[in-house]
A = this chain, B = another copy of it.
């Protein structure tokens, strides 16, 4: 058994909407991260992915299963238990997700700053005078 997921592993304040990198669908990258340490149950995934509805999480997981990124294992028990686990192919995305997060950590502030500056000022478009042939 692995450690429980941190319910706050995804900062809701973080403007990931501004993040110019997306892996698969909206929640795919986060699911990959949640599954990094080992298999997880449906409800277990829902916790850190605050706000995701069961419908959408199911859609995401089904799509990932279809693409060979995760396996779905249903245990014949009561109450029902279903576990999702990254395949090797799914694990191969971890590097990419890490790279995206590294970029964000390093450059997202600058991007956000540029955006704020641009929004709060009359966009001074650059104009270059072409080389004038006259003296």
Interface residues on A, range: 35 or more
Find chain B residues with CB under 8 A from A74 CB.
125-128
Kindly state the separation between the CA atoms of A103 and B107 in the bound complex, as whole angstroms: 22
**Are A92 and B67 in contact, CB atoms less than 8 angstroms apart?**
no
Partner of A115, one of B20, B67, B93, B115: B67
**Are B66 and A114 in contact, CB atoms less than 8 angstroms apart?**
yes
**Are B99 and A68 in contact, CB atoms less than 8 angstroms apart?**
no
* Also in contact, A115 and B66, with CB within 8 A (given A96-B99, A107-B92): yes
**A129 located at the interface, meaning its Cβ lies under 8 Å from any Cβ of chain B in the complex:** yes
**Are A96 and B24 in contact, CB atoms less than 8 angstroms apart?**
no
* Also in contact, A93 and B89, with CB within 8 A (given A23-B20, A126-B74, A130-B76): no
**A residues adjacent to B (C-beta < 8 A):** 20-24, 28, 65-69, 71-77, 81, 89, 92-93, 95-96, 99-100, 103, 106-107, 110-111, 113-115, 118-119, 125-130
